[in-house]
Structure 1
């Protein structure tokens, strides 16, 4: 990765910011309008996202160039999004990164081939509700921020486990992503990993995930901290991973029956995502990012998946992304895991 060390350290420091001080009395809609208007400038971006590199330094000029390239990219992406609910692309916290830097920092998940889902009878899928969202049942933890660490694979697995634990009757509690990051030896910590390998590790070792407060997230790979078998925690009993392309109705059934699902997607275009329903600009079979599918909505003109990301609440729809159901958009159906505790 050819990214200056100073900027990487800087990113790690600022990527957690929800920036409450710089946004007082300004709604997110107003902020987006301001940032995406014709008068927007690089200095406005720096103020909004609290970038502190020295004005007109080499670093400043490099980031300004990436920012200019991003605004050109947004015009191209938005040209395809003409329907009222379509995704919109514009300036966000990633607009001063090159596309390569963005991929190297945030898109570090790898996918293992998943077997084709055996299928459901049509009568079974017909009984599914038109809209279902596990957040309505208070079993989905708040959006987290992985920061400048390629740990999305751990966030998706832990997100699924803590939700299913709550669905089973326990109080919703955030489990330790850092424990998975440090201890899942088949993966590479902040340098990337596979949800499937993390799930295999959890199943084989019977490791109990402790609470986030006991083993807090540090956005860097550390030394594994071991706990005794008598220590409390949440253990994985089993999991399934399937390929649902062409069978997204069945995927909806899995979500309703088993809880939020860990999925692998192509998120290259998400660098510029602001909100709305993604229908273009991402492919299947090119997985690079792990997320948590928490619901779906088929009541409107465009049916969509409700997907929790791990880039903080200032990104997308308050940390969520909506992806059109059908056509395996962004590879949302390529590799989907359900967990059992």
Structure 2
């Protein structure tokens, strides 16, 4: 059994968690349901606090960027005479300069916008060390057929196949959220009632990963396949934002399991990825999310930077009807980060590197990996 661990920093103020909006408690209808899953790697930021309202946040960004207002809004508690206060104020001031720089590239309509959020008093290094904890594994290049006649727009939320945005809080558990998100969507698409499955169960029990210290959706899927573990509802095994001791359930207990999956690299094949999304449902994904520390909305077209995948998310749709086609990506940083918990990524340039995985049928799951990152402008490259 793995000992309890957590992802923290002695130099960073504690970030109070957001309140999650749970789904109604529902039961799995069969002792075990087999699902297939898709995983995708994308770049994103972590959101751990609830802003009181969008109006308050907008007001803060349009004001004189006062650090005291920021501290009140995000409930920062450090003494104003402390060294910690001074450090946070410096990071906050540096963030406002960074926002202006990033926004200077966002001149076209629908471009991404960057500004003050709950991460604005963290240094970029602190943000990476605390919240970007996912890793990607290599996979064979996708060699399947492209799907013909793709719709111009697809959003699995419209089909009641995507659970509400959750908040992983100060725990590097995005890898578990992405896998579980894909599983519960696939289960719903098969005809079962949409149900929030236990992320904490994966966090505690996937011995191939490191709990809050990070993990890989591929390793988690391998563990689920090999162990035949059935995920129980979140209501039975609630999320705690820290790694705990694995709680085992008898084989007779109801749950949802993964029987098999395959992994594929979709580099340069975003049309094929759209086909996978259409055929198999939401895709678990790992991304380079360094620049998402400051993201507030709009379509990300630039600013991928580190060239390594570090955060896991769930791709739930795409939209090619406008001037800039984009992926619709659910994050696990709460509904107040980005656009109600979502981020939009430009389709067509492998922006920031994407890795996808999907459930193909009740018996097969597939993982898609895209490693090409930042072929467009990269002003934040390390």
TM-score normalised by length of structure 1: 0.92
Distance 1:71 1:107 in 2: 21
Match of 2:235 among 171, 189, 213: 213
8 Å contact 2:291–2:305 — kept in the other structure? Answer: no
Report the count of equivalent residues.
327
Q: 1:237: which partner in 2?
A: 259
* 2:296 aligned counterpart, secondary structure: strand
Match of 1:247 among 260, 266, 269: 269
Q: 1:62: which partner in 2?
A: 87
- Deviation of 1:330 after TM superposition, in Å, equals 1.3
Deviations 1:219-260 (CA, angstroms, capped at 9, x unpaired):
000000000000000001222322112110010000010010
- Deviation of 1:66 after TM superposition, in Å, equals 0.8
Distance 2:243 2:16 in 1: 13
- 2:134 counterpart of 1:114: no
* 1:229 aligned counterpart, secondary structure: coil
Q: 1:81: which partner in 2?
A: 106
- 2:64 counterpart of 1:39: yes
Aligned runs of 1:98-247 on 2, under 5 Å? 98-121=123-146, 124-125=147-148, 127-247=149-269
Q: 2:356: which partner in 1?
A: 336
- 2:9 counterpart of 1:3: yes
Point out which structure has higher relative CO (alpha carbons under 8 A, 6+ apart).
Answer: 2
Distance 1:275 1:139, change over 3 A: same
Distance 1:114 1:278 in 2: 26
- Deviation of 1:81 after TM superposition, in Å, equals 0.7
More helix by share: 1
Bigger mean CA deviation after superposition, 269-278 or 233-242: 233-242
- Deviation of 1:31 after TM superposition, in Å, equals 3.0
Distance 2:184 2:9 in 1: 34
Distance 1:91 1:192 in 2: 26
Match of 2:293 among 243, 247, 271: 271
Distance 1:159 1:136 in 2: 16
Q: 2:337: which partner in 1?
A: 315
- Deviation of 1:13 after TM superposition, in Å, equals 4.8
Q: CA RMSD in A?
A: 1.7
Distance 2:239 2:270 in 1: 33
Match of 1:18 among 43, 50, 53: 50
Distance 1:32 1:302 in 2: 26
- Deviation of 1:119 after TM superposition, in Å, equals 3.9
Distance 1:324 1:31, change over 3 A: same
Distance 1:56 1:37, change over 3 A: farther
Distance 1:53 1:81, change over 3 A: same
Structure 1 segments (4+ residues) deviating >6 Å:
none
8 Å contact 2:325–2:346 — kept in the other structure? Answer: yes
Distance 1:234 1:2 in 2: 31
* 1:209 aligned counterpart, secondary structure: coil
Distance 1:328 1:87 in 2: 16
Distance 1:231 1:186, change over 3 A: same
8 Å contact 1:34–1:40 — kept in the other structure? Answer: no
Q: 1:258: which partner in 2?
A: 280
8 Å contact 2:8–2:170 — kept in the other structure? Answer: no
Deviations 1:115-164 (CA, angstroms, capped at 9, x unpaired):
1111424xx33x11000000000110000000000000000000000000
8 Å contact 1:284–1:331 — kept in the other structure? Answer: no
Distance 1:285 1:236 in 2: 30
